[in-house]
Amino acid sequence: MRTHDDVDEMDIKGVLIYRYMSVLYF
């Protein structure tokens, strides 16, 4: 498990951006 908060935040942002982009394309 990852213990770095910074990495977790980046992962969350990546998922949100991915979903946002998916909504734009679809």
20: left (phi over 0), alpha (psi -120 to 50) or beta: alpha
Residue corresponding to tokens 């969350």: 12
- Chain-centroid distance of CA 25 in Å reads 17
Query: What pLDDT score was predicted for residue 20?
Result: 87
Residue corresponding to tokens 């990546």: 14
15 vs 4, residue with greater confidence: 15
Residue 2 has pLDDT above 60, yes or no: no
SS3 2: coil
Query: What pLDDT score was predicted for residue 11?
Result: 81
Query: What pLDDT score was predicted for residue 26?
Result: 58
Condensed to tens digits (0 to 9), the pLDDT of residues 5-26 reads 656 677 888 888 888 888 876 5
